[in-house]
Amino acid sequence: MQFPNIHYRDSLSSLLKGPTIIFIITTAILATVFYLVWDVNMWQGWTLGSNGTNTIFCEKNRLDEFIRQRANTWSNLAYLFYGLVCAKLALHDATNKPQGNFVTRNPAISWLFGFTFLYLCFGSFFFHASITRIGQHFDMGGTYALVAFPILINLVKIYKHYKPVNEAKLTMATVVAAFIVFALLFAVKWHMNSSIALPAFIVGIIITSLWYHFVSKAPYRMLFGVMAILSTSAAFFIWWLDRYKHWCDPESLIQGHAFWHVLTGLGGFFVYLMLRSEQPIARPVQE
């Protein structure tokens, strides 16, 4: 089966090459830095988050080390990789100016997707390294941003479908609205139950994606949507196993919550590809 069109001129290997090199170099630098200070109790005196006062995830908390949860911390670099690929596509769009759809015509959208992945990478890395309350705040702020942004993009595209507007102004409004939404979600984090909020946001992505898919004559490649649902469903199942200790070795580097990071990031990246894959409307040939 041919890989669905994502409006990228070069090969898949060329798309992944740059992000992979940057990812490897960044990981090597971080690993070296943290290896040199691994036994520094950096977070002593900081207020613990929920996973510090009560062991929620399977992995052992090493409270006397810099990285208090090893696997659950380093697995967040998966978000870095997804963000770098989004940035590569943003650079491609800025250079080649593909006219396929709203996302490809406006590189700012891909830059924002990249930003949400990097925001989540920082927040979740910070949280699992420190197990602090402030780290948990950044972690969930980034998580909510990643699932809220696709809903915003879908709503913008639906609005544009029913009421054509100046696209440059709409893109600017979308960027501003995104940061307002991110700030609001960060501010109200402690007033939201993530067990309810996250599924609700995911349902919101599905509903708004199907809405646009059916009202538009230029639908998404829904294969990416299916892959996003499968990745996210697998992530939630593994999270459940880890949370309730059905798959649990506290000393192991193979941790269910680490797979949650990789798979939720992959699901979010498939959502981005779905939004990017919208095909131009086929105009009838005039006789």
In the three-class reduction of DSSP (H, G, I as helix; E, B as strand; rest coil), residue 65 is classed as coil
Write down how long the chain is. Answer: 287
Report if pTM > 0.85: yes
Residue 5 lies in a domain: no
pLDDT score of 2 more than 80? no
Residue 283 lies in a domain: no
Element (H, E) at 280: none
pLDDT digits (tens, 9 = 90+) for 102-115: 999 999 999 999 99
The average pLDDT across 158-172 equals 90
- Amino acid at residue number 103: V
Higher-confidence position of 247 and 140: 140
Residue 4 lies in a domain: no
Please check whether residue 220 is in contact with residue 161, taking contact to mean a CB–CB distance below 8 angstroms.
Answer: no
Residue 118 lies in a domain: yes
How many domains is the chain built from?
1
E strands, the chain, in order = none
Angle made by CA atoms 136, 137, 141, in degrees to the nearest 5: 115
Q: Half-sphere exposure of 44 toward its Cβ, with a 13 Å CA cutoff?
A: 6
pLDDT digits (tens, 9 = 90+) for 10-68: 888 899 999 999 999 999 999 999 989 888 888 988 999 877 666 788 999 998 899 99
C-alpha 123/C-alpha 114 separation (Å) is 14
The average pLDDT across 271-279 equals 92
Structural domain range at position 230: 12-276
Residue owning tokens 């900081």: 46
Please check whether residue 15 is in contact with residue 3, taking contact to mean a CB–CB distance below 8 angstroms.
Answer: no
Looking at residue 100, what is its pLDDT? 81
C-alpha 175/C-alpha 178 separation (Å) is 5
Please check whether residue 131 is in contact with residue 124, taking contact to mean a CB–CB distance below 8 angstroms.
Answer: no
Q: CATH number for the domain including 203?
A: 1.20.1070
pLDDT digits (tens, 9 = 90+) for 125-155: 999 999 999 999 999 999 999 999 999 999 9
pLDDT score of 1 more than 50? no
Residue 131 lies in a domain: yes
In the three-class reduction of DSSP (H, G, I as helix; E, B as strand; rest coil), residue 48 is classed as strand
Residue 197 lies in a domain: yes
One-letter-per-residue 3-state SS of 6-31 = CCCCCCHHHHHHHHHHHHHHHHHHHH
Residue 238 lies in a domain: yes
End-to-end CA distance of the chain: 35
Residue 286 lies in a domain: no
C-alpha 35/C-alpha 27 separation (Å) is 12
Ramachandran sector of residue 245 (left: φ over 0; alpha: ψ -120 to 50; beta: rest):
left
Backbone dihedral angles phi then psi of residue 153, each to the nearest 5 degrees: -60, -45
